Homo-oligomer: A and B are copies of this chain.
Amino acid sequence: MQNALTPRKAPRQARAQATHDAILEAAAQIIGAGGLSAFNTNAVAQRAGVSIGSLYQYYGNKDALMVALIHRQQKRQLMSVAQAVASVEDADLATKIRRIVRAAMQHHHDNALLASAIDHEEARLPMDAELTGYLDQGGEMVRGLLARHAAEIGDIDIDRAVRTLPALVRAATDSWANRNPPMLGVAEDEAVRAVLGYLRGLP
C-alpha cells in the first residue's frame, strides 16, 4: 500500500543508500540549524550534495521526508533511553529516573530546534504503524520500570503514567534546557522532582 507519505522507492545499490542517508542527514542539519522555516527541499538537496531530482526519487514529497526524519529521531531517542535503562538495572528508583531523564534530555538538547520542529509536525502528520511501535516499546519500558518499583510508588494508572511521564520530562527540558545559556542541571533536577513527585502520588 503506497501512499504519498511512504518512501517512493527503496535504495538497492550502495551509492543509493548513501544518497538516501545523506538526504535525511541534511534535512536534520537544516532544521537543527534554522528551524522549520529553513526546511525546504532544494536546500536539503544542496546540503546533501545531490540534485533535487534525486531527493524526489526517494521521497515523493516534502512531508514524506519529514515523516522519515521523525522516524529516525524517534528510533534514536528510544534507543538512547533504552540504553540508559539497561545501564542502571539494579539501582534504586530515584537513580534510575535521574539517568533516564538525563538521557532523554541530552538527546533533546543536542537538537533543540529539530526536536521542537518534530513535536510540532508530529501533531499534523498521520501516526503510522512504525511510530505506534516506538510508542509501544517506550510504554513497555515504563511499565517494566514501574512494576519493579511498585513499593515506592503510589496508586497509579499505568496507562496514564506511560503517557504523562515523558511529557513531564519534555516540559522540564523545554523550560530549562533550551535557554540561553542552557541550564541542563536545573532541567534535570526539575524533571526528577516532577517525575518522582508524580509517581509518589497524592497523600
Contacts and interface: CB of A to CB of B under 8 A. Distances in A.
A194 B178 CA distance: 21
Nearest to A152: B203
A148 interface: no
A150 interface: no
A72 to B, nearest CB: 21
Contacts of A174: 167
Interface stretch (A22-30, A101-109, A116-124): A116-124
A95 interface: no
Contacts of A171: 164, 167-168, 170-171
Interface in A147-203: 160, 163-164, 167-168, 170-172, 174-176, 178, 186, 189-190, 193-194, 196-203
A163 B190 CA distance: 10
Interface centre among A35, A164, A196, A203 (most CB of B within 10 A): A164
Interface size class of A (residues with CB under 8 A): 20 to 34
Interface in A55-112: 94
Given A194-B197, A196-B202, A167 B163 contact: no
A13 interface: no
A2 interface: no
Nearest to A173: B167
Contact of A172 (B37, B164, B199): B164
Interface of A: 35-37, 94, 116, 120, 123-124, 160, 163-164, 167-168, 170-172, 174-176, 178, 186, 189-190, 193-194, 196-203
